[in-house]
Structure 1
Amino acid sequence: MAASVKDVLTLIAQIILSYFEVVFRLVFKPAKRSVERDIILVTGAGHGIGREIALAFGRLGAKIVVWDINKEANQATADQIFNTGGEATAYECDVTDPEAVRRVGELVRKDVGDVTILVNNAGILHGGALLDLEDSQIKKTFAVNTLAHFWTVREFLPAMVENNYGHVVTIASMAAKMGVAYLTDYSSSKWAVYGFTESLRDEVRRMERPGIKTSIVCPHFVDTGMTKFPKLSKFERFLTPEETASAVVEGVLRQDEVIYVPSSKTLLVILDKFLTRKAQHLLYAFMDIGIDPQYRPTGSKKVE
């Protein structure tokens, strides 16, 4: 059905209002929600950002479920939450295996209950030139960084839809907004989950389930051990897992749809939208942000 003049004018008014809403949220931060009754599942919780997110939510009184392929490290996270007065349950799970996700997901529902906040954090980074990467490395990057999101969301979203309550949190990267050398597989996988989350948000809208929220997190380089040779401008530094997790938790509590870490990256993303392609290339070259290769196959030639 064709839109009427009234419909178009209403749309324009709503778009203008949305800008005022953004300014209002910047000045008057939305109230934080409570997570004391939530069951929060964090993948890749054995170390780094995932571990710190689990610990932070545990301190807020939520029931925490931690998943990782590293059984010992994952259990150590759960033990630390428990030792500080929180409640946590650890499960060993390979999130790249759909059958494992279904099997362990059923255990979680039986032992703990329906997951209400899902934090897809598990990720890997090889950091090699496209011509140097092995086929298996590229496949593994997408299996962990992208496809795993399909398996976990399909496992826990049905209960969220039924209850009209839940939150899916995607840990992406600034590499999902700006591709750089030696991150072809990583950046592509993060662009993919950025699009995945936006599509999921629209599906939820069409389901008429306003109680289900989504958040995409785009951190800059974080000192987790994955990025060994970062190239940072004089205006930037390595983020710590703790401060990154703090920003994630803050954004989730305020139900922000996109969370840039640090928040100053928001300005870069906005600026990028108004630059010509040539201007973008010039800016990126001037900033010279990225990584140096951290993977080269034995006997490969150095390519700069």
Structure 2
Amino acid sequence: MYGFTNESAAFLMAAVYGVILFVVKIAFWLHERSQRRDGKVDWEDEVVLITGGASGIGYLLAEMLAIRHITVVVLDVQPVKTALDIESYICDVSDPEDIARAAKEIREDVGEPTILINNAAIINGRSILDLSIEDIKRTINVNYLGQAFTIKEFLPDMIKNNHGHIITVSSAMGIMAAPQIADYAASKAAVKAFHETLESEIKYVYKTPGVRTTLVCCGKIETGMFQGVKERMPFFTPTLEPLEVVKEIMESMEKRRTYNQIMMPFYVNFVPLVSILPGWLQDLARTVSGADKAMDTFVGKKGAQPRSTLQVVDAFPIGGEPSEDKKKDL
């Protein structure tokens, strides 16, 4: 078309993106307004259990809670390395007997968990034929069955007391997969389906509105788990800072949101729509976004830690200020 330059195309894309962003923000605002208003959470009555809390997002969440004097318990195959008051239990969440053993100790030492953050996950980052049978089993067992097992263990008391919050950490890759993540994507898709069923049963089967739910589906987070993965279009598919995700999860707990979904960054809200497009448009979207090549440079990094909790603790004015002694310990 005469006079239609690359600059014009870029401006048009930015304008459309801005309009879509505005419409979605309005939709989120309406969703927030529709939430039940039962006041903020009373942290003195809560025991927060985090799986996979020795590294990554789980680690940052645990420290954020502990530095605010909130009771927090971590289940992980590695101990939590911190000076804060965090109860850490070595546990393989893929083993229901190990979960039962740890749950018994937690109930005796700390009390009954009232908030469950299912965060534990692993990734191999290899193509289907390069994965061993044990690789696939281990990913499904940790990422999916681990969440199912912990919910089976701790949900009954939440239902009995009509009080609790289950936070499921899934992934954008559980909505739209890519090469070299078949086992990981399948496990995260299963987690999402399990969570959606859980929501329905809480509402219609158990009829316990006091048990809240939050589903977390994020793109790449800068924790090191996906180290080496390159974003072809960082403006539209930016890498998340761990703190961004933690802030949303903390807010969901603080405001006692239910049937809540945390979809980050913004583009993740549109990922489900790709599946309804014609095949050739799906291929185009994947090619333009670079999704099919993103894992080519994957190296991974075990046990990556976010930045110091003390640097960002003032972002969350909940549960009281951390003591000077705890600040010195950090």
Q: Please give the range of the TM-score, normalised by the shorter of the 2 chains.
A: 0.7 to 0.9
Distance change (3 Å), C-alpha of 1:287 and 1:165: same
- TM-align CA RMSD: 2.4
User: Do the aligned residues in 1 keep the contact of 2:176 with 2:272 (CA within 8 Å)?
Assistant: no
Checking the alignment, whether the CA contact within 8 Å between 1:247 and 1:261 is kept in structure 2 is no
Q: Is residue 213 of structure 1 aligned with residue 217 of structure 2?
A: no
**Pairwise CA distance, 1:57:** 2.6
* Paired letter, 1:223: E
The one-letter code of the counterpart of 2:30 is F
Indicate the SS of the match to 1:291.
helix
- Deviations along 1:225-277, one digit per CA (max 9) or x if unpaired, are 22132131231333232222222222333415211122x13542364366334
Runs of 4+ aligned residues of structure 1 deviating over 6 Å after TM superposition are 27-32
Deviation at 1:60, TM superposition (A): 4.3
Alignment TM-score, normalising by the size of structure 2: 0.74
Q: CA 1:265–1:29 in 2, change beyond 3 Å: closer, same or farther?
A: farther
8 A contact 1:197–1:216 mirrored in 2: yes
Aligned mate of 2:74, from 34, 55, 66: 66
Find the aligned partners of 1:287 and 1:138 in 2 and give their Cα distance.
Answer: 27
Counterpart in 1 of 2:263? 260
Report if the CA contact (8 A) 1:126-1:294 is conserved. no
Check whether the contact 2:229–2:298 (CA below 8 A) recurs between aligned residues: no
Once the two structures are superposed, the pairs formed by residues 76-115 of structure 1 within 5 Å of their partners are 76-77=81-82, 79-80=83-84, 82=85, 88-115=86-113
1:281 to 261, 280, 283: 283
Equivalent positions of 1:33-182 (< 5 A) are 33-36=40-43, 37-71=45-79, 74=80, 76-77=81-82, 79-80=83-84, 82=85, 88-182=86-180
Looking at structure 2, the residues matched to 270 and 67 of structure 1 have their Cα atoms a distance apart, in angstroms, of 32
Output the CA distance in 1 between the equivalents of 2:199 and 2:214: 9
Which secondary structure does the structure 2 equivalent of 1:231 belong to?
Answer: coil
TM-score in terms of structure 1 length: 0.80
Q: CA 1:22 to 1:229, structure 2 compared with 1: closer, same or farther past 3 Å? A: closer
- For the 8 Å contact 1:194–1:216, the answer to whether it is kept is yes
Shift of 1:50: 0.4
> 1:137-186 CA deviation, whole Å, 9 max, x = no partner?
11110111001011111110111011001111111111011111111000
SS in 1 for 2:128: coil
Counterpart position of 2:244: 243
Report if the CA contact (8 A) 1:43-1:66 is conserved. yes
**What is the percent sequence identity of the aligned residues?**
32
Between the aligned partners of 2:42 and 2:121, the Cα distance in structure 1 is 25
Residue correspondences, number: 265
Per-residue CA deviation, residues 29-75 of structure 1 (Å, 9 max, x unaligned), is: 9877225121100011111110011122334442101111112xx1x
| Cα separation, partners in 2 of 1:260 and 1:60, compared to 1, 3 Å | farther
One-letter amino acid of the counterpart of residue 108, structure 2: K
Q: Which residue of 1 aligns with 2:30?
A: 24
Is the 2:172–2:268 contact (alpha carbons within 8 Å) kept by the matching residues of 1? no
Contact 1:128–1:293 (CA under 8 A) maintained in structure 2 = no
**How far off is 1:218 after superposition?**
0.8
The code of the aligned residue for 1:195 comes to A
Higher relative contact order (CA 8 A, sep 6+): 2
What SS does structure 2 have at the residue aligned with 1:275? coil
Q: One-letter code of the match for 2:225?
A: M
CA contact (8 A) 1:181 1:291 kept: yes
For the residue of structure 2 that corresponds to 1:153, the secondary structure is helix
